Chain A
Amino acid sequence: GESVGLHLPTLSVQEGDNSIINCAYSNSASDYFIWYKQESGKGPQFIIDIRSNMDKRQGQRVTVLLNKTVKHLSLQIAATQPGDSAVYFCAENRAGNTPLVFGKGTRLSVIA
């Protein structure tokens, strides 16, 4: 079936290191992707998005890479900080008026 999923359910990194969170999607009709961060007790918070006509987009300390050939999305966080500890979700939006579909999430733990 069609799904949005993640390779790694948990990720632990040392403070200051770079983090890479991966996501696989299976629907080639998906043309828009978002990474969300969710801290305990809060709703998901938008981090960065990318459209399918791009393969890379950079924000402040974050970069999203999109590989449409293998249907893979990644979020790179540079110089990971304790405040980055959270669960990260990728979400896809298929063409048209369909709502966002979320994957299961990866928990990022930053070790001080």
Chain B
Amino acid sequence: DTGVSQNPRHKITKRGQNVTFRCDPISEHNRLYWYRQTLGQGPEFLTYFQNEAQLEKSRLLSDRFSAERPKGSFSTLEIQRTEQGDSAMYLCASSLGTGRGGYTFGSGTRLTVV
């Protein structure tokens, strides 16, 4: 297992377009998290899954954002009708159980909305 994998690494899109990011967690990890990070800030929680169930969503996750983890393995995060304010690094992490012992993060997908 090579850790948490995120694709694409970079995405440039025009305002109003839809984008989708993928995260492949560590295979034995049952929890998967999405965070957003802007320059100079710490990661901000968006949502997380336990297996295929989405257990919590942040208020940051507007109606334009949707996340899925259909088979309890990989996850996708879709942003519809992108806005310039969506430009950020989108980080995925996974953990075994509640994450006591830490989350393992991927390298992120950097989104630029022009």
Contact = CB atoms under 8 A, between A and B. Distances in A.
Nearest to B89: A43
B43 A102 contact: yes
Contact of B48 (A51, A99, A101): A99
Interface residues on A, range: 20 to 34
Interface in B46-97: 48, 55-56, 91, 93
A99 B106 contact: no
Nearest to A46: B102
Contacts of A36: 102, 105
A100 B106 contact: no
A37 to B, nearest CB: 11
B111 interface: no
Contacts of A46: 102-104
A93 to B, nearest CB: 7
Contacts of A41: 107
Given A49-B101, A99-B33, A104-B40, A43 B45 contact: no
Nearest to A41: B107
Contact of A43 (B48, B55, B105): B105
B25 interface: no
B98 interface: yes
A105 B37 CA distance: 11
